[in-house]
Amino acid sequence: MNQRWSMVQYRTYPNKLLKRLKTESELPAVDMFVTTADALKEPPILTVNTVLSLLAVDYPANKLACYVSDDGASPLTFYALTEAVEYAKRWVPFCKKHGVSVRAPFMYFSQTSHICNSFSSEFLTEWKKMKSEYDELSKRINEAVSSKSVPYPNINEEFAAFSRMENRDHPSIVKVIVENRERSIGGLPHVIYVSREKRPKHPHHYKAGAMNVLTRVSAVMTNAPIIMNVDCDMFVNNPTCFYEAMCLLLGFKSERESAFVQFPQVFYGGLKDDPFGNQLKVLFSVVLAGISAIQGPCYAGTGCFHRRKTIYGFPAEDSKGNFLEFFNGSNEANMEELINRFGHCKELLRSILSIHLNKAGDTLSFESAVEAAHIVAGCKYENNTYWGDQVGWVYGSSTEDLLLSLKLFSTGWRSVYCTPQPPAFLGCAPSSGPETLLQQRRWAAGQLELFVGRHSPLLSTITKKLEIRQCLAFLSIWALRPIPEIFYSILPALSLLTNTHFMPKFPEPIVLIPISLFVLFNFFGLMEYWRCNLSTREWWNNQRMARINCASGWLFGFFDVTLKLLGLSDIVFFVTPKDERDNDPNADKFTFNSDVMFIPPTTLLFLNLVGLVIIAPKLARGDFNMLLEVLCSAWVVSCFNPFLKGLVRKGRYGLPWSIICKSGALALMFIYICKVHVQGGLI
């Protein structure tokens, strides 16, 4: 309820913004970050589309720079980008000339493939040319990816940096792919490829580490006061969204109101009625909006505009405040403190100072900036500094986004939720059973890491500026839910197996209490879906998926954190594979593999099935004494319905034998224990 209480919706008026500023040149510069990590799981053609859509946004190009972080250090990604910018030289003017609405070519061409004759012939000719060029481009890139090599004639000295390189053991690579030398409004924004240094013995902190490197590299190169970031699986869907964001960054009296502007994550290619529960529509339209009036929505990791100063850890009340003392003079102590905080790179310190004085702008010539960029992208740069803790993206949680939000709220900042129509960004959600569960596991683990970590919301409420209700919102920790929920799922089976009650006997009037609680709770959930214009089916699918996630992904998230706390293993950020959607007619069927994550739900299903089978004769005799327990059990079985179907289906749509056997053995063991310990049971 707390998370739904303070709903606020902001309406933005980009046209008024332009009237208020004297000229467009008053708009703040924006550094755009794209992260990619694995050229095989994240096809470069997706990253290319992300980048093309960013290069083509409606915003003066001389105010933009696009930084692509490649944690895979893949020559394929680099090659794809170099090819893409050639295409961009024609794509961007085409979009701007014709006011194209979706500027990621793959989406644009798939939406306009049945192009009608109402367009002028001039447009049609250009459209056809752009489309065939794009088809060529994607063919070249995909061929390079499937042959795992860059086509020979393209290899030049630029590729030398990638040769004979391990993707986990290499120096930093920074390459300027496009430099908008004239700083012309109509040109292309700068495009810079960054692959940070990686060494096997150095923890790289996954995405949070990549974001910190991007922050520093961009600081020494363009140092825009605003940073926006998207994942490589997300593209700009509404080209005016930069102006929307600026309304909320420039429109408040105090900067404190908008440390960052978050756009909802909306996914493309979602299946009808969301069978995997990964469209997160209610989360983004109800929950994030529902905390908007407390301290604001959390940062969702992508589709967000940050003030650079907040990333550096500047506190909110008075952005000069505490920091001035370090910046004041050139006396030794202050310099030492600065180096302690931000590291030793002079160019970086200078750029931070200019952010502090609100005098952001280009810092160095690109040639010398690239040198500094290599230094700040080094894996040892952060040693003995505040990076990853008080400065930058915080390390220690696989949901680095929540952790950063927590840090900002704790220092008194607020955030703003921006929900324009059409949605500003569209992303891609995991497309199969195992991937969905893995993502949920990572998120659940991340939330719990947050809770037990140094920046715990409870601590931050007591000692810092995190508001109590914002703290409550952080306390909905998925990874703790499996503990009660698994017991609740076992309980009806246990009752049926041992002929004991945990519910009032039917038809005593008191049964109305649990029944009405159950009905009210679910009806409330359903109404929320109706209010969001979602179907009843979608509510059912999503609530069913929540039970499956809980018994599987969230439970393992809990184990992951427990093992981490015991020092037995560390949590790995598994990148979600992003496959290009084909029109697979079976796409809505749940898929399985032999991952242990499938064991708990299968076991729960088996237990309840056995319970129902055992009670069936009694029901047939007209003995409804245990009706409530039967209903509970049936509810559990219907929640795990995709697993029931998995028992009979074949191939990737079927539960593998190994899972069936292991779960069967666990269920039998449980039944055996019941039999031994509960005398007078049915069995």
Ligand X SMILES: O=c1ccn([C@@H]2O[C@H](COP(=O)(O)OP(=O)(O)O[C@H]3O[C@H](CO)[C@@H](O)[C@H](O)[C@H]3O)[C@@H](O)[C@H]2O)c(=O)[nH]1
Contacted by 399, from ligand X, Mn ion, none: CB < 5 to 8 Å by type: ligand X
The CA-atom distances, in angstroms, between 148 and each of 79, 145, 151, 169 are 11, 5, 9, 19
Residue 364: CB atoms within 10 Å: 18
Please report how close the Cβ of residue 295 comes to ligand X at its closest, in angstroms. 20
Residue owning tokens 């996914």: 267
Q: Distance between CA atoms of 255 and 352, rounded to whole angstroms? A: 18
Please report how close the Cβ of residue 335 comes to ligand X at its closest, in angstroms. 33
Residue nearest to ligand X (CB): 301
Please report how close the Cβ of residue 563 comes to ligand X at its closest, in angstroms. 18
Residue 632, CA atoms < 13 Å, CB-side half-sphere = 26
Catalytic residue among 38, 71, 274, 560: 71
Contacted by 267, from ligand X, Mn ion, none: CB < 5 to 8 Å by type: none
Residue whose CB is less far from ligand X, 443 or 539? 443
Establish whether 42 is an annotated binding residue.
yes
Tokens at 630, concatenated: 């039967």
Question: Do residues 374 and 194 make contact, with C-beta atoms less than 8 angstroms apart?
Answer: no
Contacted by 77, from ligand X, Mn ion, none: CB < 5 to 8 Å by type: none
Both ends of the chain: CA-CA distance in Å?
43
Establish whether 560 is an annotated binding residue.
no
Residue whose CB is less far from ligand X, 302 or 461? 302
401 is a catalytic site residue: yes
Q: Footprint of Mn ion on residues 204-243 (CB under 5 A)?
A: 231, 233
Residue whose CB is less far from ligand X, 94 or 393? 393
Q: Distance between CA atoms of 269 and 278, rounded to whole angstroms? A: 12
Residue whose CB is less far from Mn ion, 428 or 534? 428
Residue whose CB is less far from ligand X, 401 or 560? 401
Amino acid identity of 419?
T
Q: Please, what is the angle between helix 512-531 and helix 536-549, to 10°?
A: 110
Residue whose CB is less far from Mn ion, 74 or 608? 74
Please report how close the Cβ of residue 498 comes to ligand X at its closest, in angstroms. 41
Buried b (16+ CB within 10 A) or exposed e, 6-26: beeebebebeebeeeeeeeee
Q: Distance between CA atoms of 132 and 9, rounded to whole angstroms? A: 42
Residue whose CB is less far from ligand X, 107 or 194? 194
Q: Residues interacting with ligand X, by CB under 6 A? A: 35-37, 42, 69, 71, 206-207, 210, 231-233, 301-302, 398-401, 439, 442-443, 446, 573, 575-576
Q: Distance between CA atoms of 445 and 461, rounded to whole angstroms? A: 21
Q: Distance between CA atoms of 332 and 312, rounded to whole angstroms? A: 21
Contacted by 449, from ligand X, Mn ion, none: CB < 5 to 8 Å by type: none
Residue nearest to Mn ion (CB): 233
**CA nearest to 640, candidates 555, 538, 547:** 547
Contacted by 575, from ligand X, Mn ion, none: CB < 5 to 8 Å by type: ligand X
Please report how close the Cβ of residue 401 comes to ligand X at its closest, in angstroms. 5
Contacted by 629, from Mn ion, ligand X, none: CB < 5 to 8 Å by type: none
Amino acid identity of 405?
S
Amino acid identity of 296?
G
Number of residues located near Mn ion, criterion CB under 5 A: 2
Establish whether 207 is an annotated binding residue.
yes
Establish whether 201 is an annotated binding residue.
no
Please report how close the Cβ of residue 186 comes to ligand X at its closest, in angstroms. 29
Residue whose CB is less far from ligand X, 63 or 306? 306
Q: Distance between CA atoms of 503 and 41, rounded to whole angstroms? A: 48
**CA nearest to 391, candidates 442, 364, 356:** 356
Residues in contact with 340: Cβ distance below 8 Å, sequence separation at least 6, in sequence order: 384, 385, 386
Question: Do residues 518 and 644 make contact, with C-beta atoms less than 8 angstroms apart?
Answer: no
Taken in order 117, 118, 124, 130, is the CA torsion positive or negative? negative
Contacted by 446, from ligand X, Mn ion, none: CB < 5 to 8 Å by type: ligand X
Please report how close the Cβ of residue 237 comes to Mn ion at its closest, in angstroms. 15
Please report how close the Cβ of residue 63 comes to ligand X at its closest, in angstroms. 24
Establish whether 70 is an annotated binding residue.
no
Taken in order 446, 452, 454, 459, is the CA torsion positive or negative? positive
Residues in contact with 317: Cβ distance below 8 Å, sequence separation at least 6, in sequence order: 256, 412
Contacted by 401, from ligand X, Mn ion, none: CB < 5 to 8 Å by type: ligand X
Catalytic residue among 31, 38, 274, 401: 401
Residues involved in catalysis: 71, 401
> Could you tell me which residues are annotated as the binding site for Mn(2+)?
207, 231
> Could you tell me which residues are annotated as the binding site for UDP-alpha-D-glucose?
41-42, 71
> Could you tell me which residues are annotated as the binding site?
41-42, 71, 207, 231
* Contact positions vs Mn ion (CB under 5 A): 231, 233
